[in-house]
Amino acid sequence: MKYKRIPDETVRRLPVYLRGLMFLHEDGQRNISSSKLADFIGVHSWQIRKDFSYFGEFGVRGVGYEVDKLVHEIKGILRLNVVQKAALVGTGHLGTAILSYPGFGVYGFDVTAAFDNNPKKIGKKIKDVTIVNVSRIDILRKKNITLGIIAVPRSVAQETAHALVKAGVMGILNFSPCYIIVPKKVKVITIDIAGYLARMPYYTPMEQKK
Amino acid sequence: MKYKRIPDETVRRLPVYLRGLMFLHEDGQRNISSSKLADFIGVHSWQIRKDFSYFGEFGVRGVGYEVDKLVHEIKGILRLNVVQKAALVGTGHLGTAILSYPGFGVYGFDVTAAFDNNPKKIGKKIKDVTIVNVSRIDILRKKNITLGIIAVPRSVAQETAHALVKAGVMGILNFSPCYIIVPKKVKVITIDIAGYLARMPYYTPMEQKK
C-alpha cells in the first residue's frame, strides 16, 4: 500500500473531510482555504493541515485547496474510487433505515444483500434488495462481498459476526451496542448511537433558560 | 466548570471508555490495567493514559484502574450522573429504531418526547412515548428538555433544527446526512452512518480470498 503511516485518527476524519468537500463541490466551489474548510466541517484548521500532510501537499498559498483534487485523493486513499458492495444482517427498523439511507451512495457503497432469520421477512424486498435467509449467508463468498453491517439484537450480534467472518467478510460495521470478538485480520467498527449523544451534556447546559 | 481543558477528541473518547468500563463492571471486574482496557475497547494504551491524565490520576501501580471509580468520574465529567431527557423528531424507521434502542438508558438518557408531522402517526405510541405534532415542539421548553435528536429526511433537517433551537434546545444529535446551521451557542453532532463505513475499505482487502 502506498500510504502506510496514516494514523487511525486521521483515517477516521478523512470521510468527514470527504463529505464536506463533496458538498462544497456540489455547490460549485473549486478552491477553499483550510480555515474556511475548518469552519464548514467543524474541525480545527491546524488539524486539517496536519491530517493532509500525511498524504502530500495540496494547498497553494493564497488559493487554498483544490476541492476536486482533494476529493479524488481522499477517495483513492480510502479506496472509495470503486463501488464497494456491502451486506446487511437484520432488517428491523434500524436495518430498514440503513437500507433506505441515502448517504451510502455518496461514498460509493452499495448495500446489495440483506439477511434476516424471520420467515415473514425472507423473500420480501426493501429498496430493490431481496431479504435472504441468514442460513444462506455463505453466498457472500460467491458475490465477493467483504463488508458486513450488523443490525441485529445484541443477543445474536456475536453469532452474526461469526457467520459473516465464516462467509469471508473482512470488515464489519456493528450497530449492536455490545462488543463482538472476531479474528485479528477482521476490522470491526462499532457504532454506539447513544455514545454520540453521551458527550452532548458536556457541552450544553442542563436546564433551559427561563 | 471543573474540567475546562479537556480536548474535544478526549471528550469524544470518554463515552467509549465509559461503555467499556460499564461492561467490565457488569462482569464483576473491579480493577483493570490500561493495557487490558486498551485491548478490550480497541484504543492504544498510551492514548488511554493521556486522556485520563486530563482529569486526574486513577491508576495504581500493579493494581491498575479502579473500574467503579473511573465510571463515576467519567459520568461526572460528562454530566451523565443525572438523568438527561431528550426529544426525538421524526419517527420513521430510523426514529423508531432510536426510540427502541436499548443503549440510551446505559448512559442515563431518557428519550421522553417524540414528534412527527404525519397525521397517521400523531397520537400513537412507540415504547411508551406518545408521538406529538411537530407544530407543538414548543412544549420542550415547559418539559425542560435541552437535547434534541433529528431523524427526519434531509430536506427538512434544517427547519427541524431551527424549530428545536427556538424551543430552547442546546444540543442536537443530527442523523440527517447534511450540514445544519445553528447559532454558535448550540452544539450539533452529526452522525453520518455511511461515513463510518467509509473508512472500512482502507483496512480491508477488496476481494474475498479464493
Nearest to B109 by CA among B131, B86, B126, B129: B86
Question: In this predicted model, what pLDDT tens digit does every residue of A63-82 receive, in sequence order?
Answer: 788 899 999 999 999 989 88
Among candidates B102, B107, B201 on the partner chain, residue whose Cβ is nearest the Cβ of A198 = B107
B31-36 long-range CB contacts below 8 Å, 24 or more apart? B31/B63, B31/B64, B31/B65, B31/B66, B31/B67, B32/B64, B32/B65, B32/B67, B33/B64, B33/B65, B34/B59, B34/B64, B34/B65, B36/B64
Residue reference for cell 447513544: A194
pLDDT band for position A43 (cuts 50, 70, 90)? confident
The Cα-based distances of A165 to A133, A159, A186, B66 in angstroms read: 17, 10, 8, 35
Nearest chain B residue to A9, by CA: B9
**Which residues on B lie below 8 Å from A148 (Cβ)?**
none
Among candidates A92, A106, A205 on the partner chain, residue whose Cβ is nearest the Cβ of B170 = A205
Distance from B207 to chain A by nearest Cα, in Å?
6
Question: In this predicted model, what pLDDT tens digit does every residue of B132-185 receive, in sequence order?
Answer: 999 999 999 999 999 999 999 989 999 999 999 999 999 999 998 788 999 989
**Which residues on B lie below 8 Å from A11 (Cβ)?**
199, 202-203
Domain-ending residue, one of A77, A102, A125:
A77
Cβ–Cβ contact A9 with B under 8 A:
yes
Cβ–Cβ contact B196 with A under 8 A:
yes
Domain that includes residue A109, residue range? 84-195
Beta bridge partners of A89: A115, A150
Do A184 and A144 share a domain, yes or no? yes
Tell me the three state secondary structure of residue B117.
coil
- Return d(Cα A125, Cα B147) in angstroms, integer: 35
CATH number at residue A45: 1.10.10.10
Residue B2 within a domain: no
Do B136 and B102 share a domain, yes or no? yes
Residue A143 within a domain: yes
Distance from A187 to chain B by nearest Cα, in Å?
7
Domain-ending residue, one of A23, A49, A77:
A77
**Which residues on A lie below 8 Å from B201 (Cβ)?**
78-80, 84, 147, 171
Output the nine-digit C-alpha cell for B86: 431528550
Do B105 and B45 share a domain, yes or no? no
Contact call for A94 and B94, based on CB within 8 A: yes
Task: For chain B, give the mean pLDDT.
Answer: 88
Got the DSSP string for A49-61? Answer: HHHHHTT---EET
Do B72 and B131 share a domain, yes or no? no
- Over residues B9-17, the mean pLDDT reads 90
Distance from B206 to chain A by nearest Cα, in Å?
7
Number of domain units in chain A? 2
ipTM associated with this complex: 0.81
Is A57 a residue whose pLDDT tops 70? no
Residue B107 within a domain: yes
Domain-ending residue, one of B77, B101, B123:
B77
Cβ–Cβ contact A50 with B under 8 A:
no
Do A22 and A66 share a domain, yes or no? yes
**Which residues on A lie below 8 Å from B101 (Cβ)?**
94, 177, 193-194
Nearest chain B residue to A206, by CA: B146
Do B92 and B191 share a domain, yes or no? yes
Backbone phi, psi, residue B147, to 5°? -115, 130
List the A187-190 sheet strands across, edge first: A125-126, A129-133, A109-116, A84-89, A147-150, A171-174, A187-190
Residue A205 within a domain: no
Residue B201 within a domain: no
Residue B142 within a domain: yes
Please count the residues of chain B.
210
CATH number at residue A161: 3.40.50.720
Do B92 and B125 share a domain, yes or no? yes
**Which residues on B lie below 8 Å from A191 (Cβ)?**
193, 196
Do B125 and B105 share a domain, yes or no? yes
Cβ–Cβ contact A83 with B under 8 A:
no
**Which residues on A lie below 8 Å from B82 (Cβ)?**
206
Cβ–Cβ contact A137 with B under 8 A:
no
pLDDT band for position A1 (cuts 50, 70, 90)? very low
Cβ–Cβ contact B93 with A under 8 A:
yes
Contact call for B202 and A77, based on CB within 8 A: yes
Do A65 and A119 share a domain, yes or no? no
Is A193 a residue whose pLDDT tops 50? yes
Do B27 and B54 share a domain, yes or no? yes
- Return d(Cα B39, Cα B207) in angstroms, integer: 28
Do A124 and A181 share a domain, yes or no? yes
Say what percent of chain B tops pLDDT 90. 49
Nearest to A58 by CA among A81, A22, A31, A20: A31
Residue A39 within a domain: yes
Cβ–Cβ contact B181 with A under 8 A:
no
Contact status, residue A20 vs residue A76, Cβ threshold 8 Å: no
Residue B178 within a domain: yes
- Return d(Cα B9, Cα A46) in angstroms, integer: 14
- Over residues B119-135, the mean pLDDT reads 95
Give A168 or A35, the one with higher predicted confidence.
Answer: A168
User: What's the number of CA atoms in the CB half-sphere (13 Å) around residue B167?
Assistant: 30
**SS3 of chain A: helix, strand, coil, percent, to 5:** 45, 20, 40
Contact call for B193 and A86, based on CB within 8 A: no
Do B58 and B93 share a domain, yes or no? no
Sequence letter at residue B184: K
Cβ partners under 8 Å of residue B63, min gap 6: B31
Contact status, residue B85 vs residue B107, Cβ threshold 8 Å: no
- Return d(Cα B30, Cα B70) in angstroms, integer: 10
Cβ–Cβ contact A43 with B under 8 A:
no
- Over residues A151-180, the mean pLDDT reads 93
Which one of A11, A139, A202, A207 makes the best mutation probe of the B interface by having the most chain B beta carbons within 10 Å? A202
Is A148 a residue whose pLDDT tops 80? yes
**Which residues on A lie below 8 Å from B197 (Cβ)?**
86, 104, 107, 109, 147, 149, 173, 189
